[in-house]
Amino acid sequence: MKYGIIGYSGRMGREIDALFREKGHEFALGIDDKKAEIVSNPEVLIDFSLPFALEKTLDLISKYKCPLISGVTGYTAEQMNLIRALANTVPVVQSFNFSPGIQLMLKMTRLLKESLKDWDVEISETHHRFKKDKPSGTAKMLAAAVGREIPISSLRLGNIPGDHTIAFGGLGEILSISHRVLSRRTFAEGVILSADFALRRQSGYFTFTDVLFQE
Amino acid sequence: MKYGIIGYSGRMGREIDALFREKGHEFALGIDDKKAEIVSNPEVLIDFSLPFALEKTLDLISKYKCPLISGVTGYTAEQMNLIRALANTVPVVQSFNFSPGIQLMLKMTRLLKESLKDWDVEISETHHRFKKDKPSGTAKMLAAAVGREIPISSLRLGNIPGDHTIAFGGLGEILSISHRVLSRRTFAEGVILSADFALRRQSGYFTFTDVLFQE
Amino acid sequence: MKYGIIGYSGRMGREIDALFREKGHEFALGIDDKKAEIVSNPEVLIDFSLPFALEKTLDLISKYKCPLISGVTGYTAEQMNLIRALANTVPVVQSFNFSPGIQLMLKMTRLLKESLKDWDVEISETHHRFKKDKPSGTAKMLAAAVGREIPISSLRLGNIPGDHTIAFGGLGEILSISHRVLSRRTFAEGVILSADFALRRQSGYFTFTDVLFQE
Amino acid sequence: MKYGIIGYSGRMGREIDALFREKGHEFALGIDDKKAEIVSNPEVLIDFSLPFALEKTLDLISKYKCPLISGVTGYTAEQMNLIRALANTVPVVQSFNFSPGIQLMLKMTRLLKESLKDWDVEISETHHRFKKDKPSGTAKMLAAAVGREIPISSLRLGNIPGDHTIAFGGLGEILSISHRVLSRRTFAEGVILSADFALRRQSGYFTFTDVLFQE
């Protein structure tokens, strides 16, 4: 497929570009706040930029009328509405975490929250020292999956790509689920799955959970 | 509820008695090979005695016509048949492991094995230095839940009551589930759940898995 | 030895009493804000009460002229001075954590802080849901052993007796030390070691580190 | 410093080159079995090539009279003698593991083995599925550091670069040290430390342990 990347020179942008090339896909467009490289019309747009760039993203989708895969975090409620509105005309896959393991972790968490209503729950996440947001978007998704107020501990340590643990504690036992990213390539693989999925849709708003478990 | 305990002064018997009292239930009967304490008619009988005491258990059920929660291990096939026959007239919940956490761990393992067919799986368990069997029965249950040959690492360390971990590893990420017993109280909690469950049934043979996930 | 306990009916008080009896020592005195039980003159006084009871402790030491083992937390600077003054006349062993493992963890932390000056450090501790202070005194001791500002994550989960981890993270690797209490008996054993140590001294202020590593 | 690399285009060679550049050091020389790039006279030579290239290494040291940092594995006894002879005229640092964390883990293990003679010890290591040897060489070094027979559990899981844990267990508590490699960068950092160390020496044979703990 011909792909375009918004947030092209960011860490995830480069990782995605490298994997798409490796898999034989064709680079069509790369855009950043500093530069733009346009080779051809993209069949899918992948956005790993920052919230302030949303207008640019909307312009590009309106121009190319192609699916959007969005991994941008930190949108306001208004910006989220714009993304959802977009899904009326093109397929949109939006997620804060494109790792299959995290999706399974969310699924298990939903399963446990019913059975362990009276147990304490604690979420902890550890990331590299360069990560600026606290807690991670994934930790917030885990808390949302439990559906009640959950404390989140955020550790910043060396160059850890991303560890998450959710622990359920009763008076006699502890049950926990842990996830550890070994390399950012994991997310890039999730983006490819999402692009494949989106290209088979006409329009609609989807999450990475739909990509993995629908169909 | 009014409860009776067979194997009253054993380690599990005392733990169960303590938790039932704490939860406001009413002690009705406590029986042992040495003594019997009968206060009133029990609404449920809990048996954590030994196989040789089965006749006594059958007598008591026949007298009180109440549900049986059995955690006795080591019955012969014939004795098992007697237990199952009992289930024609009263509800029987029988299990070798009344920890809710382990049951949930088994359930999650079954869920993951479908999604992670191509991933590596490793099970490890750590128990106190006095444990004689290797690997633990629970580790074997976990391996059986995956449904293929899984390596099990067994560690013996200090006085650890029982840790189990099952880890699934892909090339970009690791997903694992861990369980840790803090005290025998956990099994007593499983017995309370089972008693509640049995009191809402007319008859039938059930396992602890039914207690947790049926209805 | 003949022992007295201040804070006799608290959780640690009862644990200490049980272990001293088990080891064949002789109960001499048990005091609480509610009641006092005096059998004979103690050869050592063990204090696991609260800061407000310090006056009572000073009275008892002045009366019996015996060593003091103090595990009281939360003293003011002034109260700490009174404790130190006491050490001019009797041996005093004071610690916020009588576990040998934690002392070794502190020792290793001091060893690492030199070598890993440029690494990130994160401390996390997990305790039962009933624990009121946050972070734990032990976590604060670990941070002090590193000698710079260290973030501490505090988790409250089920009935965990006490887990502590200190992790050092560089860009290429993570090194961590973890400690897990299996039962409060650990602390009672540290108190016995301290009492033995104090009985061989004339006077002086000691920590549990001295008990373990001096001599 | 001006550095030269023998085995320049190998995996470790490139990792070392990248880190030295990042730290502001100056590339002087890069040599391989296929090509040689010489910019200026190196102040230190780093060798991560293969045993057959030893002659070339000796030539270069004889020419530049600078320290050698050697991470080559698989030398014969004779070749080892040549390396040691070299140390009469220049400083040589030779090691099979340039990770500072593993060296510290070994040091702490030696410290604990005295204090925890009566405790159980368990070592476990987890590596990627492609690793052929079992247990890892590092796990064997850890066992040797304890100085008695220690069970080692080896897990093979996904693409884990290298996890090691040594756990000491008493009846009341567990103390453990864990190490996790995040990337090969860790070894490159050890090489920089070694180069700094060697530049402050006239001659002599040193291991990475000397680099970390001498002085």
B113-140: pLDDT as tens digits: 988 998 999 999 999 998 878 998 889 9
Distance CA B23, CA B40 (A): 18
- CB atoms inside a 10 Å sphere around CB D53: 16
- Residue A215: which pLDDT band, with cuts at 50, 70 and 90? low
ipTM of the complex: 0.82
Side-chain-side CA neighbours of A48 within 13 Å: the count stands at: 20
* Res. A105: pLDDT tops 90: yes
Identify the three-state secondary structure at position A23: coil
* Catalytic residue, candidates B113, B127, B164, B179: B127
Rounded Cα gap, residues A204 and C210, in angstroms: 68
Burial of C23 (0-12, 13-18, 19+ CB in 10 A): exposed
When CB atoms are compared, the residue of D158, D159, D182 closest to A159 is D182
CB-CB neighbours of B9 under 10 Å: 15
Interface residue C151 vs chain A (CB under 8 A): yes
Q: Give the closest of D120, D172, D174 to B156, CB-based.
A: D120
Q: Is the model's pLDDT at B206 over the cut of 80?
A: yes
Name the minimum distance, in Å, from the CA of D93 to any CA of chain A. 26
Flag residues of chain D having pLDDT under 70: 215
Tracing tokens 């009985």 back to the chain, one arrives at C199
Position C96 scores a pLDDT of 85
Pairing between β-strand A44-47 and β-strand A68-70 as defined by DSSP bridges: parallel
pLDDT at D74: 82
Cα A46 off chain centre by: 11
Dist. CA B184–CA B161, nearest whole Å = 8
- Please state at what angle helix C185-199 crosses helix C11-22, rounded to 10 degrees: 60
* B172 contact A CB<8A: yes
Helix (H) or strand (E) holding D173: strand D173-181
What pLDDT score does B110 carry? 94
Environment class of D123 (CB within 10 Å of its CB; exposed 0-12, middle 13-18, buried 19+): buried
Q: D21: which 2 tokens?
A: 């550049």
Q: What is the 3-state secondary structure (H, E, C) of chain C?
A: CEEEEECCCCHHHHHHHHHHHHCCCEEEEEECCCCEEECCCCCEEEECCCHHHHHHHHHHHHHHCCCEEECCCCCCHHHHHHHHHHCCCCEEEECCCCCHHHHHHHHHHHHHHHHCCCCEEEEEEEECCCCCCCCCHHHHHHHHHHCCCCCEEEEECCCCCCEEEEEEECCCEEEEEEEEECCCHHHHHHHHHHHHHHHCCCCEEECHHHHHHCC
Contact present, A71 and A12 (Cβ < 8 Å): yes
For chain A, the chains sharing at least 3 beta-carbon pairs closer than 8 angstroms are B, C, D
d(CA B153, CA B147): 17
The reply to whether residue A101 touches residue B183, judged by beta carbons under 8 angstroms, is no
* Band (B142; pLDDT cuts 50, 70, 90): very high
**By the 8 A CB rule, do A41 and A2 touch?**
yes
Give phi and psi for B191, each to the nearest 5: -70, -40
Query: Which residues on chain D are in Cβ contact (under 8 Å) with A160?
Result: 182
CA-CA distance, C16 to C14, in Å (whole number)?
A: 5
Beta pairing, strands D173-181 & D163-169: antiparallel
Helix (H, G, I), strand (E, B) or coil at B129: coil
Instruction: Please tell me which of the candidates A100, A112, A180 has its beta carbon nearest to residue B104.
Output: A112
**Quick one: pLDDT at residue B74?**
82
B131 catalytic, yes or no?
A: yes
A160 — contact with chain D (CB < 8 Å)?
yes
Cα–Cα distance for residue pair A198/A44, rounded to 1 Å:
8
pLDDT tens-place string over residues A119-167: 999 999 999 999 888 999 899 999 999 999 999 999 999 999 999 999 9
CA distances from C186 to C109, C128, C196 (A): 21, 17, 16
> How close does chain D come to A167, measured CA to CA in Å?
20
Distances (CA, A) of D61 to D36, D44, D56, D87, D132: 15, 9, 9, 11, 35
Q: Where are the beta strands (DSSP E) in chain A?
A: 2-6, 26-31, 36-38, 44-47, 68-70, 91-94, 120-127, 152-156, 163-169, 173-181, 204-206
Query: What are the tens digits of pLDDT across the range B77-90?
Result: 999 999 999 999 99
Backbone angles phi, psi at B167, to 5 degrees: -120, 135
User: Hey, which chains touch D, using 3+ CB pairs under 8 Å?
Assistant: A, B, C
CA nearest to B71, candidates B155, B6, B154: B6
Q: Are A72 and A90 in contact (CB under 8 A)?
A: no
Say which residue the tokens 């680079």 belong to. A27
Q: Which two tokens stand for residue A107?
A: 């699924």
Task: Give A5-55 pLDDT, tens digit per residue.
Answer: 999 999 899 999 999 999 999 999 999 988 899 999 999 999 999 999 999
Contact indicator for C192, D184 with CB cutoff of 8 Å: no
Average pLDDT, chain B: 94
Q: What is the mean pLDDT of each run of 10 residues along chain C (215 residues)?
A: 95 94 96 92 97 95 97 93 96 94 95 91 96 90 95 97 96 96 92 96 95 79
Task: Dump pLDDT digits (tens) for C12-62.
Answer: 999 999 999 999 999 999 999 888 999 999 999 999 999 999 999 999 999
The span from the CA of D203 to the CA of D200, in Å, is 9
Q: Check CB contact under 8 Å for B175 and A170.
A: no
- Cα–Cα distances in angstroms (integers) from residue C61 to residues C46, C57, C82, C197, in the given order: 10, 6, 12, 17
Other residues' Cβ atoms within 10 Å of the Cβ of residue A149: 7
* CA separation, residue A75 to residues A71, A94, A198, D61 (Å): 11, 12, 21, 58
Closest CA of chain C from B165, distance in Å: 17
Catalytic-labelled residue, pool A131, A132, A140, A164: A131
**Location of structure tokens 């402790």:** C57
- Residues D189 and C169 sit within 8 Å (Cβ to Cβ): no
Give the minimum alpha-carbon distance from C21 to chain B in angstroms, rounded to a whole number: 22
Domains and CATH numbers, chain B: 2-98+185-213 (3.40.50.720), 100-180 (3.30.360.10)
